[in-house]
Each structure stands twice: as structure tokens, then as C-alpha cells.
Chain A
Amino acid sequence: MDLSLPAGVSPRRWMPVLAAGLSLGEYARSLVRRLAFLSAVLVAAIWALGGRGYFWPAWAWLGLGDLVLLDFAASWAWRQPRGAVRRVACVWAVVGVTAVILVFTWLLTWLLAGVETFWPGWALLGVATAGSAYSLIALQDRVLVARGRRALRARVDLLTRTRRQAVDAQAAELRRIERDLHDGAQARLVALTLQLGRAELRVHDQPEIRGLILDAQREAHHAIAELRDLARGIVPPLLADRGLVAAVESLAARYGLGTSIEVDTHRGLAPAVESAAYFVIAEALTNTAKHACAQRSWVALRDEHRMLAVVVGDDGCGGADAEGSGLAGLRARIEALDGSLRVDSPEAAGTVLEARLPCG
């Protein structure tokens, strides 16, 4: 049984103990323990001096021991996490203390009065049953919550996985559509204009028919141009045909910013990641060309663990609006891939766009 005061507190100077930082409760508990110990010694001494005989101090010890036991059980229960667990611990502290009192009382009646029947049996069974029943009811919620959390985690995992699959499937589908537009509808329209051209050659002496044919050809040309713009908006053809690096080089050349391009990635990129990286760079270079009045601009692509890091920077006038519509659209696109976008654009100190895209 631990009767000592908390570490660093002198037992002889009990009053300053409060000043040393002990709470009133702790102080009272240590006092109770000491008084119990002193009383136990005292009754034993009285019994020894009073001519011995029937060992009655055992009953006093039992009472004092119960007091100390209750103190320990209560402090143990109080240390448990708040809520249902602490309530269950309190119930079991009471059950435990009751059981110990019953068993020790029986032990004394057996030793001192010769009662051989184990009379506390039914009582022990009763309190244990009551404690168990309370625990089951009180912790039922927690069991359900734990199961709920597991289910939630599984659901988040599933959604993360299926969202990525959906994004990948969408990107692959967009590439297919781009190809179909170029090689399907657009190619057929080209064949149509060719046939119209051949027809036009044959009726060059009939101006009315020739005019109709030329009108039809013009319409076909408009349709072809619209399809081309549509396809380019979906996936730039160079990106589809030659991948990210070639597409970025072409982009940089088109803007004529003298952009330096540094590539340090060797992984094959999923279409969704490739497109997202391309559109980040395209948006950044467009902004640089439009607003930044920059002397220098650079693009870096590199592997970082399981991420592709895309960094686009310039030494222009900075002050880009990170919440602007262009960047917000990019952010949505990147977040759909569980990636991140950071924009650093202090006034008059250049702009750096940094995107991280998970590569599975």
C-alpha cells in the first residue's frame, strides 16, 4: 500500500504541502491514508496492551483497509477517459471494492467465528452481473462508433480510389474524343470538301452551280475549323501525340518568353496527370505573357516521391490574384487528383506557381 506523499513533498511539513502545489483533494487523501495507518497501529497496540484474547482489531483493520481501498479504486476510476469509459470504471471500482469487502468479511467470520459456508457467493455473483450488464449497455455506443469509424475509413478509401479511377477514365475518354474528332468527323468533312472541289472543277462553266458548291465548301471549312478548336480545347494535339515535354516546349516557343525548361522526371504519366500539368503550365505562361512584364521565365518538372512537382516561375511584377478564376479552375482540376497548388506572388518580386500531382 502506497502511503507516501507525492514526490518532493516533505511528510513532516504538511501545511506547506498546499503551497507546494498539491490540490486540496490530494492533500486530504494523503491525510486519510496516514490516519488509517496510524489507527491500524493504534488498535493493534491497544489489543496487545489490553491482554490480547479475541483478535478484534482485525475488524478495525478491515474497516480502515476498505477506506484506503475505496480511495485507490476511486482515483483509478477517475484517471480513465471521460464519458462512458469513466462511468464503467466507477461501476467496476464499486463492484471491486464491494467484492473485496465481502470476501475479507467472510474470511474473518471463518477464521474468527468458524463460519464455513461461503455466504458471499450469491452477493458476488449479483454485483458482478450488475457491473457487466451496465458495462454492456454503456459501451454499446462505443462499439458502434468504432464500427462506424472503420466503415467510414473504408468508404473514404473506396471513394478516393473510385474518384481517381473516374478522373483517369474521364481523361482517357477525352483523349479518345479528341482523336475521334480529328480522325472521324473532321477527316470525313475533309473528304467531303475534296469531293466538292472535284465537282467544282467540272462545273466551272456553270456559275450558279459553282456558287452553290463553293458555299457548301465554305460551310464545311467552318465546321472543320470549329471541330479543330473543340479538339484543341479538350487536349492539345501535341500533348496527345508527343507528351508533356514536347507540348510545353511548343507552348513556351509560342509565347516567345525565352522560357527555360528543366525536366527531371522519368515516369510515364497518366493522361489525367499529364493534362493537369499541361494546363497549369499553360495558365501560368499565359499569365506571365499577359501581366508579368518578366525578363525571365522558367518551367521545372521533377519527381518528388510519389508526386510530380510542376513549378512555373517568372521574375515579373508579381501580385497575382491566387483566387482569380483561372487559378481557381486549375485548383479544382488539381484537387480532383488529390494534388495541391501553391501560388507565391509578392508585389514586385515575381510569381511562382507550384503544383504537386500524385502519380499513383
Chain B
Amino acid sequence: MRVVIAEDLALLREGLVALLRENEIEVVAQVQDAPALLRAIAGHEPDLAIVDVRLPPTYSDEGLLAAIEARRRQPALGVLVLSQYVETAYASELIGEDTAGIGYLLKERVGDVRAFLDALRRVAAGGTVLDRQVVAELLAPREGGEALSGLTTREREVLALMAEGRSNTAIAESLVVTSGAVEKHITNIFAKLDLPACDDNHRRVLAVLAYLRVAT
């Protein structure tokens, strides 16, 4: 796997580079701002870009905008956006029309090294990973939000774990139930959210994203 990193804080950037190299992931470029990121992606054609939302010079959302632009130019590129805070609006913009190869995580998730590396691999392989805080905000009960009102508490829990990109086995372990039970919950969720029975690839994440698009 070949990775480009865009992060302005040297300490964190170097930590990430070291972490990836220790785990046999090739870091082909490390940059500090958005234009350099786009150049690096065009030059190196990596599998994955890890991008901080706030980059110089204005430290607002140029990292996010650069990530969206990079995806527009190279739809096959996996993009993992890291941020000090999560906004559902940002998640929605990042995902756009195509959920494949998108990740949006709080920065501090890098501390849980195994889960972080797993998320990297899944995004690079075309999966979708949303931070559990984004998912929690989306699933929070709210007035007027009817899309999820029909789900049971357990189904919501399963949906939240699905949105984080967990496998059925991982969900079953986390909730201390059998894989079969998880399967049943997922089938119920698909039915209640009225999702078309098409290809299986991202149907799990689509369950959350369908709701996300309704909400934002």
C-alpha cells in the first residue's frame, strides 16, 4: 500500500510516518498544505491519502476541500480525513455520491494503533469508515427525524458499528451475540430503511449514509 500524508504538525506527521513504515506501509510523500497534497497525489498516484482537515495557510477546511478535489481527479483514490472535531456536514460533503474509499475519523483515533491501521487498510481497499462520533450524532434521537425512528435500540447499535466499518464477526463480538443474530438485525435494518437489495459491497454503510443524506 502506498500512502501520502498531509499534516502540518511535524510531530504528528513524523509519528504517522514512523507508524506506517513500522507496519510495512509505504509513505511515498509527506506534505504540509493542500496544493502540495494535490501535486503529490498527481505525481505518486498513491492508494491512500491521509489528510488533516485544517491545513495552512488559513487553517479552516482546506484539507477537506483538497481531499474532495483529489477524489474528483482520481476516483479510485482512498481518502482518510482526520480532524480534531467531526461535523456531519463535512462527512456528507466528503462522501458525495460515492461511498467507496472514504474515511472520516477524529484525529485521536490514531492512538488506537491496531484499529487505525485496520481503518487505513479498509479505506485503501475501497471500504468506508466513519468515526463513531459522527455515527452517534446521526443516530441521536431527534424531533422530525423519522428515518431511524422505526429501529430498535439493538438495531441502532448494530447500525452504528456497521457505519464504523466493522465486519459481522466484529459486531457480534462487540455486542456479545452470535453472528446469526447480527445477520438478522442487519436484514431488519435494510428492510426498515427501505434499501434496495442490490450488490452487497457497501450496503451496510449505505444504511447509514442513506440516513445521512436525509439529515444534512
A residues touching B (Cβ–Cβ < 8 Å)?
179, 182-183, 186-191, 193-198, 200-201, 217, 220-221, 224, 228, 231-232, 237-238, 240-242, 246, 249-250, 253-258, 289
Contact among A179, A188, A189, A242 for B59, CB-based, below 8 A: A179
Name the 6 nearest CB pairs between A and B, nearest first: A193-B111, A256-B142, A197-B113, A241-B60, A191-B11, A191-B12
Contact among A189, A196, A237, A253 for B215, CB-based, below 8 A: A253
Selecting from B16-24, B72-80, B162-170, B174-182, the interface stretch reads B16-24
Selecting from B32-40, B82-90, B184-192, B193-201, the interface stretch reads B82-90
Main secondary structure of the interface of A (DSSP, over half): helix
Q: Could you tell me the distance between the alpha carbons of A228 and B111 in the complex, rounded to whole angstroms? A: 16
Known: A182-B84, A186-B84. 11 other contacts (CB 8 A): A187-B107, A188-B11, A191-B11, A191-B15, A194-B111, A201-B113, A201-B114, A238-B87, A240-B60, A253-B216, A254-B88
Q: Could you tell me the distance between the alpha carbons of A322 and B130 in the complex, rounded to whole angstroms? A: 41
CB of A258 within 8 A of CB of B216, answer no
Contact among A197, A200, A237, A257 for B85, CB-based, below 8 A: A237
> Which residues of the other chain, B, contact A228 by a CB distance below 8 angstroms?
84-85
| Central interface residue in A196, A201, A253, by most chain B CB within 10 Å | A253
Question: Looking across the interface, which residue of chain B has its beta carbon closest to that of A188?
Answer: B11
With A190-B12, A241-B54 as contacts: A197 and B142 at CB distance below 8 Å: no
Asked if B61 lies at the interface with its beta carbon under 8 angstroms from chain A, I say: yes
> Which residues of the other chain, A, contact B19 by a CB distance below 8 angstroms?
194, 197-198
> Which residues of the other chain, A, contact B108 by a CB distance below 8 angstroms?
189-190, 193, 220-221, 224
Q: Could you tell me the distance between the alpha carbons of A139 and B12 in the complex, rounded to whole angstroms? A: 76
CB of B16 within 8 A of CB of A194, answer yes
CB of B9 within 8 A of CB of A183, answer yes
Q: Could you tell me the distance between the alpha carbons of A232 and B18 in the complex, rounded to whole angstroms? A: 31
Instruction: Jot down 21 A-B pairs with beta carbons below 8 A, ordered by A.
Output: A182-B84, A187-B11, A188-B11, A190-B108, A191-B9, A194-B15, A194-B19, A194-B111, A196-B111, A197-B110, A197-B111, A198-B15, A198-B22, A228-B84, A238-B89, A240-B60, A249-B89, A250-B89, A253-B215, A256-B143, A257-B144
CB of A256 within 8 A of CB of B145, answer yes
| Central interface residue in B111, B142, B144, B145, by most chain A CB within 10 Å | B111
Contact among A187, A200, A201 for B12, CB-based, below 8 A: A187
A185 CB, min distance to chain B CBs, angstroms: 10
| Central interface residue in B19, B84, B112, by most chain A CB within 10 Å | B84
A250 CB, min distance to chain B CBs, angstroms: 5
CB of A289 within 8 A of CB of B85, answer no
Main secondary structure of the interface of B (DSSP, over half): helix
CB of B12 within 8 A of CB of A194, answer yes
Asked if B137 lies at the interface with its beta carbon under 8 angstroms from chain A, I say: yes
B85 CB, min distance to chain A CBs, angstroms: 5
Question: Looking across the interface, which residue of chain A has its beta carbon closest to that of B115?
Answer: A197
CB of B61 within 8 A of CB of A194, answer no
> Which residues of the other chain, A, contact B111 by a CB distance below 8 angstroms?
190, 193-194, 196-197, 217, 220-221
A256 CB, min distance to chain B CBs, angstroms: 4
Contact among A197, A232, A253, A256 for B112, CB-based, below 8 A: A197
CB of B85 within 8 A of CB of A232, answer yes
Question: Looking across the interface, which residue of chain A has its beta carbon closest to that of B137?
Answer: A254
B139 CB, min distance to chain A CBs, angstroms: 12
Question: Looking across the interface, which residue of chain B has its beta carbon closest to that of A186?
Answer: B84
Question: Looking across the interface, which residue of chain B has its beta carbon closest to that of A259?
Answer: B144
> Which residues of the other chain, A, contact B142 by a CB distance below 8 angstroms?
254-256
CB of B11 within 8 A of CB of A241, answer no
Q: Could you tell me the distance between the alpha carbons of A238 and B60 in the complex, rounded to whole angstroms? A: 9
Q: Could you tell me the distance between the alpha carbons of A190 and B82 in the complex, rounded to whole angstroms? A: 11
Question: Looking across the interface, which residue of chain A has its beta carbon closest to that of B140?
Answer: A254
Q: Could you tell me the distance between the alpha carbons of A200 and B117 in the complex, rounded to whole angstroms? A: 14
Question: Looking across the interface, which residue of chain A has its beta carbon closest to that of B22?
Answer: A198
Q: Could you tell me the distance between the alpha carbons of A279 and B137 in the complex, rounded to whole angstroms? A: 20
> Which residues of the other chain, B, contact A232 by a CB distance below 8 angstroms?
85
B205 CB, min distance to chain A CBs, angstroms: 20
Q: Could you tell me the distance between the alpha carbons of A243 and B114 in the complex, rounded to whole angstroms? A: 36
Q: Could you tell me the distance between the alpha carbons of A231 and B59 in the complex, rounded to whole angstroms? A: 15
Question: Looking across the interface, which residue of chain A has its beta carbon closest to that of B143?
Answer: A256
Q: Could you tell me the distance between the alpha carbons of A242 and B11 in the complex, rounded to whole angstroms? A: 27
Question: Looking across the interface, which residue of chain B has its beta carbon closest to that of A190?
Answer: B107
> Which residues of the other chain, B, contact A237 by a CB distance below 8 angstroms?
84-85, 87
CB of A187 within 8 A of CB of B84, answer yes
With A198-B18, A253-B215 as contacts: A187 and B9 at CB distance below 8 Å: yes
> Which residues of the other chain, A, contact B9 by a CB distance below 8 angstroms?
183, 187-188, 191
